[in-house]
């Protein structure tokens, strides 16, 4: 591997890797591993892991020993549920070894996160409209769920919001509160997280409301912990919040469009990330097939429009920013491609590097450094 030093199968501390979760087909086995070229963000294939269907969202434990994936299925073990899988990471070869699998408790699990201690994974079940917590054992295997919470409710869009659809679950920087964006309820459900027993307790306030019909999808925090941001699928909007870390409460600051003013077609927003510098926020649009860019007010959390950049493919369900903040990689699900952009650190704008990787149905990207 040209971008890896020490021989074909060796890695070192300077190597940066990308794990890609995919929808599995007869052409693709699941999770692919790439090494990233620090010069242009290009990807060189390293290995792949089979044995887990539709690993559509990935997470890595803080100690970098294990990788976890949701298996986005409607049925597993004869029940209306999906699953989640655990893999051991070999840092010398970057090969993944399947460890075990647990039922998710609800259908179509679509999001997974690891708590700051590396003891728990939290998942969101889209089809089931539920969230759950699972213990990580010392050997990296997942134990049965320590907690399961069923959401209940609906909203105004009768085609998409007849029932709850939990779309993500994220912990705050202090590991005290969990925030579950529910597309079907137009709410961000807020839980107190018990990191000792792996439990979720309704917070006070128990939720933050989104605009009716907006469809909350992904949620993320600013590096300073004072602001948080929500991208909303159905109305293609981004909302910024002020965050009270003592109460686990969100206060709306502003809502802006993720689409150009003159766009008239059909599009659904998907993923959202803040640059490591905290200066810019990015959101993906499926249909317009673009990344929207906003500057973040340092003291206000307000968003100022910068522009849009085509992802040079179809349906950017997910994208990721490398830890240095130099590159953004866009995963184009329906054109089977990962496209690399360089981030202008002064303006936040994106510029294609020309680097392009062919991957079947990529839907999640996670960076990893040995």
Question: What is the 3-class SS of 302-362, one letter each residue?
Answer: CEEEEEEEECCCCCEEEEEECCCCCEEEEEEHHHCEEEEEEECCCCCCEEEEEEEEECCCE
pLDDT at 26: 65
The per-residue pLDDT for range 265-321, each reduced to its tens digit, is 999 999 999 999 999 999 999 999 999 999 999 999 999 999 999 999 999 999 999
What is the value of pTM for the model shown?
0.95
pLDDT at 182: 98
Answer yes or no: is pLDDT of 13 > 70. Answer: no
Do 213 and 235 form a contact (C-beta atoms < 8 A)?
yes
The per-residue pLDDT for range 215-229, each reduced to its tens digit, is 999 999 999 999 999
pLDDT at 27: 63
Structure tokens at 334: 């329906």
């Amino acid at each position: 591997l040209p971008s890896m030093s020490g021989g074909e199968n060796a890695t070192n501390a300077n190597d940066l890797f990308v794990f890609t979760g995919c929808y599995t087909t007869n052409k693709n086995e699941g999770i692919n591993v790439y090494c990233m070229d620090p010069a242009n963000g290009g990807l060189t294939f390293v290995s792949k892991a089979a044995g887990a269907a539709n690993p559509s969202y990935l997470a890595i434990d803080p100690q970098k020993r294990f990788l976890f994936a949701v298996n986005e299925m409607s049925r597993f073990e004869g029940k209306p549920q999906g699953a989640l899988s655990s893999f051991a990471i070999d840092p010398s070869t970057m090969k993944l070894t399947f460890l075990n699998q647990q039922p998710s408790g609800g259908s179509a699990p679509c999001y997974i996160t690891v708590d700051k201690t590396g003891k728990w994974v939290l998942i969101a079940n889209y089809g089931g409209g539920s969230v759950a917590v699972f213990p990580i054992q010392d050997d990296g295997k997942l134990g049965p769920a320590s907690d399961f919470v069923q959401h209940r409710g609906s909203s105004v869009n009768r085609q998409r919001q007849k029932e709850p659809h939990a779309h993500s679950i994220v912990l705050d920087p202090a590991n005290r509160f969990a925030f579950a964006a529910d597309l079907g309820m137009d709410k961000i459900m807020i839980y107190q997280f018990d990191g000792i027993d792996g439990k979720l307790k309704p917070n006070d306030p128990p939720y933050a409301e989104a605009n009716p019909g907006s469809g909350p999808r992904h949620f993320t925090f600013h590096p300073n912990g004072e602001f948080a941001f929500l991208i909303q699928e159905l109305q293609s909007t981004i909302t910024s919040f002020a965050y009270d870390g003592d109460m686990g409460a969100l206060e709306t600051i502003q809502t802006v469009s993720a689409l150009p003013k003159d766009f008239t077609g059909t599009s659904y927003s998907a993923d959202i990330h803040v640059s490591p510098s905290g200066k810019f926020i990015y959101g993906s649009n499926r249909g317009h097939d673009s990344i929207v860019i906003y500057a973040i007010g340092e003291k206000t959390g307000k968003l100022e429009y910068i522009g849009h950049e085509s992802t040079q493919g179809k349906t950017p369900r997910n994208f990721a920013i490398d830890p240095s903040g130099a590159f953004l990689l866009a995963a184009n699900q329906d054109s089977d491609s990962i496209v690399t952009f360089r981030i202008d650190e002064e303006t936040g704008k994106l510029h294609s590097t020309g680097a392009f990787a062919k991957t079947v149905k990529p839907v999640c990207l996670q960076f990893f450094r040995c």
